[in-house]
Amino acid sequence: MNNIYALIDRLIEISIKNRLIYPMDKIYTRNRILALLKLDSYEPSESKLHYNLQETLNEILKYSVEMGIIENYLYEKDILSSKIMNAFLNIPSAINEEFYRRYSSSPKEATNYFYNLSQNSNYIRTDRIKKNISYKTSSKYGDLDITINLSKPEKDPKQIAKERLKVSVKYPACPLCIENEGYEGSLNHPDRANHRMIRLNVNNKNWYFQYSPYSYYNEHCIVLLKEHNPMKISKDTFKNLLEFVKQFPHYFLGSNADIPIVGGSILSHEHYQGGCYEFPMEKAQDEYKFNLTKFPYLNFSIINWPLSVIRIKGENTEDIIEAATLIFNNWKTYNDKKREIIAFTGEENHNTVTPIARYKNGLYEMDIVLRNNRTSDEHPLGIFHPHEDVHHIKKENIGLIEVMGLAVLPGRLLNELREIEDFILNKTNSVKDYHLPFAKELKEKYNKEKSPDSFIKEEVGLKFARVLEDAGVFKRDEFGQQGFKKFIKELNK
Per-residue pLDDT, 170? 81
pLDDT confidence tier of residue 224, bands split at 50, 70 and 90: very high
Angle at 132 between CA 126 and CA 135, to 5 degrees: 120
Domain containing residue 35: 4-97+113-122
In a domain, residue 224? The reply is: no
State residue 447's pLDDT score: 87
Q: Establish if 13 belongs to a structural domain.
A: yes
pLDDT of residue 46: 84
How confident is the model at residue 488, as a pLDDT? 97
pLDDT for 162 equals 57
Q: Do 147 and 216 touch, CB atoms closer than 8 A?
A: yes
Alpha-carbon distance of 467 to 385, in angstroms, equals: 8
Q: Is residue 127 part of a domain?
A: no
pLDDT at residue number 158: 60
Q: Which pLDDT score is estimated for 361? A: 95
Q: Is residue 458 part of a domain?
A: no
What is the pTM assigned to this prediction? 0.94
- The whole-angstrom separation of Cα 290 and Cα 68 is 68
Q: Which strands, in side-by-side order, build the sheet including 271-275?
A: 198-202, 205-211, 221-225, 271-275, 252-254, 351-360, 363-372, 309-314, 299-303, 286-290
Has residue 415 got a pLDDT over 60? yes
The pLDDT value recorded for residue 264 is: 80
On whether the CB atoms of residues 395 and 133 are closer than 8 A, the answer is: no
- Read off the pLDDT of residues 32-48 as tens digits, 9 standing for 90 and up: 999 999 999 999 888 88
The whole-number average pLDDT for the span 62-67 is: 97
Domain count along the chain:
1
Please check the confidence at residue 137 and state whether its pLDDT lies above 80: yes
pLDDT at 5 over 90: yes
Percent above pLDDT 70 for the chain: 96
Grouping H, G, I as helix, E, B as strand and the rest as coil, residue 46 is coil
What pLDDT is attached to residue 2?
62
Rounded distance between C-alpha atoms, residue 181 and residue 236, angstroms: 26
Would 288 be classed as within a structural domain? no
Task: Report yes or no: 356 and 402 within 8 Å, Cβ to Cβ.
Answer: no
Taking the C-alpha atoms of residue 464 and residue 410, their distance in angstroms, rounded to an integer, is 13
- Alpha-carbon span 292 to 313, nearest angstrom: 12
Q: State the pLDDT at residue 163.
A: 52
Q: How confident is the model at residue 329 (pLDDT cuts 50, 70, 90)?
A: very high
pLDDT, mean of residues 431-458: 92
Pair 353, 366: CB distance under 8 Å: no
Q: Which residues of 105-132 are buried (b: 16+ CB within 10 A; e: fewer)?
A: eebeebbebbbebbbbbbbbbbeebeeb
Q: Please say whether the beta carbons of 371 and 353 come within 8 A.
A: yes
Asked, for residue 362, whether it belongs to a domain, the answer is no
Q: What contacts 24+ positions apart, CB below 8 Å, involve 195-198?
A: 195/82, 195/123, 196/89, 196/92, 196/95, 196/114, 196/117, 196/118, 196/123, 197/92, 198/95, 198/96, 198/99, 198/114
pLDDT of residue 159: 57
**158/340: higher pLDDT:** 340
The phi, psi pair for 419, rounded to 5°, reads -60, -40
> Looking at the domain assignment, is residue 91 inside a domain?
yes
Do residues 232 and 258 touch, judged by C-beta distance below 8 A?
yes
On whether residue 316 sits in a domain, the answer given is no
